[in-house]
A and B are shown apart, each in its own frame.
Chain A
């Protein structure tokens, strides 16, 4: 982690909410007794009349969010990723998405980097769950600025969206002038030998891996796939058609997440050698965030190894 400036993605969410709330009276925020953690408390303090704490009742949170949206509000619904997508899956699917309502589910504490709380609080399947719901858009910001800009963008996209935020501070990759382009893979580094596609907390790991590979003469292209649904099919195919190899990286199960989405695309359109860096069909455990990244094989070293293995294959 040396050399990076660190900031929370959930702070980017909170700052976006303040900006949105200031200029748009339709913005309403709901939380489920986690406002201090998800950072919606900042909105609550500024706009108390437009904040509703639903208590420890995530299912009610989601269905009530749908009802609010049905009266013309743009509703942000926040809790931890595991509860937003697991506990309240049916409400999200049947009442929010089936009704195509403007509910933006902005969930913090996604992924293994939740850390010490352990498996019950580590959402490793949330991207898969949300990606499978029709009409749902899925965004995984990598840093403070991307989170801030992504939230401001999804606020005005029609219908439901899921934004996955993290618990730990994440390396700052962008600046105040960062322009978030919904649905477009973001080229972070160009290369010709292998395409490394990452999201969220693993984007900086992918960049570190690319740096390591460069020292060995392997030029890795790094894509920040902040929008997992809708998938930037064209952008991904364009890159992998040049490199011929792809590594995906996510702090999520390899089943149905970013890796799954890319694999589905390539299997149909352009089958080629691929490796997935992610959690291998397993629950999480307690530990420090960075320890867990290492433990589950998600570090820059692991990404570089996967890329190297692909490059060692005969072309």
Chain B
């Protein structure tokens, strides 16, 4: 499973991210970075399928759609120290769409926040990996989420707090499109713009599906780029499965004069043929047979 042949550390992923201190993409290194981020994405994806398959419950669709985003954050953009989760100068990440926890847990495990063997205890009694993120149980989780529409507000609070302390840290928040039906998202959007939070980047996992069907059929979100722009955010749109596209957007977001939104166009269930764009896999675990089939597909990818 582990390209390094040993559990835990990300070290086996190469030397591009020696201190996970964050970086800016140099075009001469682009191809190497792309390969590494795609490799780690494939590993995270396999972990997500296996975790949810073994747990027998969970949210594969929205976990698989945000894999590249998480890989680019944790293995490219963010400055963080897995061996020192409380490092004061770390960048912060908030998984506002908390049901994608399996993808976050896999990324954290590959970073080395905890042993990868923990992944297979997801959702079990006594596990450090709850169904939705719990900051008190899981190293690397900055704030507990799960009830939608609250993480972006919390990220605003973090950005204000870090700015008060004049720390150079950035805050990243990943929100969902279905989640954007929550009013709290737009309360936070207003506050972030009003406060001029140029240390805040939000990424929207725009996979187009929610539990009851297509977002545009449940309650249409309308023109999301226009909405975010009108709320005072700088907006970029990317292919949410193109790691270099994401990396470049994350780099550019740092130049924004206020809060920055990256709308990532993604595919729900990405990477597993029978889960892609299949709303049934929003909150349903694969059977054991489906899990094996999905892992075979991902191995061959």
User: Using a CB–CB distance below 8 Å, which chain A residues touch chain B?
Assistant: 28, 49-50, 52, 54-55, 57, 59-60, 62-73, 75, 90-91, 94-95, 98-101
Counting from the closest, the 3 A-B pairs by CB-CB distance are A67-B157, A71-B161, A63-B153
In chain B, positions 114-155 with a C-beta closer than 8 Å to chain A are 134-136, 142-147, 149-151, 153-155
Interface status of B158 (Cβ within 8 A of chain A): yes
By the criterion CB–CB under 8 Å, are A52 and B143 in contact?
no
Return the contact of A63 from the options B136, B146, B157, B162 (Cβ within 8 A).
B157
Return the contact of A95 from the options B136, B145, B161, B194 (Cβ within 8 A).
B145
Interface pick from B184-192, B221-229, B266-274: B184-192
Can you list 14 A-B contacts with CB-CB less than 8 angstroms, sorted by A residue number?
A: A52-B160, A55-B194, A57-B190, A60-B187, A62-B153, A64-B188, A65-B157, A70-B154, A71-B162, A72-B165, A94-B145, A95-B144, A98-B134, A100-B136
By the criterion CB–CB under 8 Å, are B161 and A70 in contact?
yes
Given known A67-B153, A71-B158, contact A99–B135 (CB-CB < 8 A):
yes
Q: A57 to chain B: which residues have CB within 8 Å?
A: 187, 190-191
By the criterion CB–CB under 8 Å, are B143 and A95 in contact?
yes
Q: B145 to chain A: which residues have CB within 8 Å?
A: 94-95
Interface status of B195 (Cβ within 8 A of chain A): yes
Given known A59-B183, A64-B153, contact A70–B160 (CB-CB < 8 A):
no
- Considering the chains assembled together, what is the distance between the CA atoms of A176 and B154 in angstroms? 37
Chain B nearest CB, measured from A29 CB (Å): 12
Please report whether the interface of chain B is mostly helix, strand, loop or mixed according to DSSP.
helix
Q: Which residue of the partner chain A has the closest CB to B159?
A: A67
By the criterion CB–CB under 8 Å, are A70 and B187 in contact?
no
Interface residues on B, range: 20 to 34
- Considering the chains assembled together, what is the distance between the CA atoms of A98 and B134 in angstroms? 8
Q: Which residue of the partner chain A has the closest CB to B142?
A: A70
Q: B142 to chain A: which residues have CB within 8 Å?
A: 70
By the criterion CB–CB under 8 Å, are A59 and B153 in contact?
yes
Interface status of B156 (Cβ within 8 A of chain A): yes
In chain B, positions 212-259 with a C-beta closer than 8 Å to chain A are none
Given known A64-B191, A70-B154, contact A90–B143 (CB-CB < 8 A):
no
Q: A95 to chain B: which residues have CB within 8 Å?
A: 143-145, 147, 150, 153-154
Interface status of B1 (Cβ within 8 A of chain A): no
Return the contact of A94 from the options B146, B158, B188 (Cβ within 8 A).
B146
Give the one of B142, B143, B155 with max A CB within 10 A.
Answer: B143
Q: B134 to chain A: which residues have CB within 8 Å?
A: 98
User: Using a CB–CB distance below 8 Å, which chain B residues touch chain A?
Assistant: 92, 94, 134-136, 142-147, 149-151, 153-162, 164-165, 183-184, 187-188, 190-191, 194-195
By the criterion CB–CB under 8 Å, are B136 and A99 in contact?
yes
Return the contact of B157 from the options A55, A66, A90, A98 (Cβ within 8 A).
A66
Given known A71-B158, A71-B162, contact A66–B143 (CB-CB < 8 A):
yes
Q: A65 to chain B: which residues have CB within 8 Å?
A: 157
Q: B194 to chain A: which residues have CB within 8 Å?
A: 55
By the criterion CB–CB under 8 Å, are B155 and A67 in contact?
yes
Q: A60 to chain B: which residues have CB within 8 Å?
A: 153, 156, 184, 187-188, 191
- Considering the chains assembled together, what is the distance between the CA atoms of A122 and B11 in angstroms? 58
Q: B94 to chain A: which residues have CB within 8 Å?
A: 67
Chain B nearest CB, measured from A84 CB (Å): 15
Chain B nearest CB, measured from A284 CB (Å): 26
- Considering the chains assembled together, what is the distance between the CA atoms of A50 and B142 in angstroms? 22
Q: B147 to chain A: which residues have CB within 8 Å?
A: 90-91, 94-95
Return the contact of B144 from the options A54, A55, A72, A99 (Cβ within 8 A).
A99
Return the contact of B150 from the options A52, A90, A100, A101 (Cβ within 8 A).
A90
Extra contacts besides A59-B187, A60-B188, A62-B153 (14): CB < 8 Å: A63-B154, A64-B191, A66-B143, A67-B161, A69-B161, A70-B135, A70-B154, A71-B158, A71-B165, A90-B147, A94-B146, A98-B144, A100-B136, A101-B143
By the criterion CB–CB under 8 Å, are A68 and B144 in contact?
no
- Considering the chains assembled together, what is the distance between the CA atoms of A28 and B156 in angstroms? 14
Given known A63-B184, A66-B154, A98-B134, contact A73–B143 (CB-CB < 8 A):
no
- Considering the chains assembled together, what is the distance between the CA atoms of A239 and B199 in angstroms? 56
By the criterion CB–CB under 8 Å, are B190 and A64 in contact?
no
Chain A nearest CB, measured from B300 CB (Å): 40
- Considering the chains assembled together, what is the distance between the CA atoms of A225 and B158 in angstroms? 35
By the criterion CB–CB under 8 Å, are B191 and A54 in contact?
yes
Chain B nearest CB, measured from A234 CB (Å): 29
- Considering the chains assembled together, what is the distance between the CA atoms of A70 and B158 in angstroms? 7
By the criterion CB–CB under 8 Å, are A91 and B164 in contact?
no
By the criterion CB–CB under 8 Å, are A73 and B164 in contact?
yes
Chain B nearest CB, measured from A96 CB (Å): 9
Q: B136 to chain A: which residues have CB within 8 Å?
A: 99-100
Q: B154 to chain A: which residues have CB within 8 Å?
A: 63-64, 66-67, 70, 95
By the criterion CB–CB under 8 Å, are B161 and A72 in contact?
yes
- Considering the chains assembled together, what is the distance between the CA atoms of A59 and B149 in angstroms? 9
Q: A55 to chain B: which residues have CB within 8 Å?
A: 187, 190-191, 194
Give the one of A63, A65, A67, A98 with max B CB within 10 A.
Answer: A67
Q: B187 to chain A: which residues have CB within 8 Å?
A: 54-55, 57, 59-60
Chain B nearest CB, measured from A119 CB (Å): 23
- Considering the chains assembled together, what is the distance between the CA atoms of A95 and B150 in angstroms? 7
Q: A62 to chain B: which residues have CB within 8 Å?
A: 153
- Considering the chains assembled together, what is the distance between the CA atoms of A265 and B237 in angstroms? 58
Q: Which residue of the partner chain A has the closest CB to B136?
A: A100
Q: B161 to chain A: which residues have CB within 8 Å?
A: 28, 67-73
Give the one of A54, A55, A64, A100 with max B CB within 10 A.
Answer: A64
Q: B164 to chain A: which residues have CB within 8 Å?
A: 28, 49-50, 71, 73
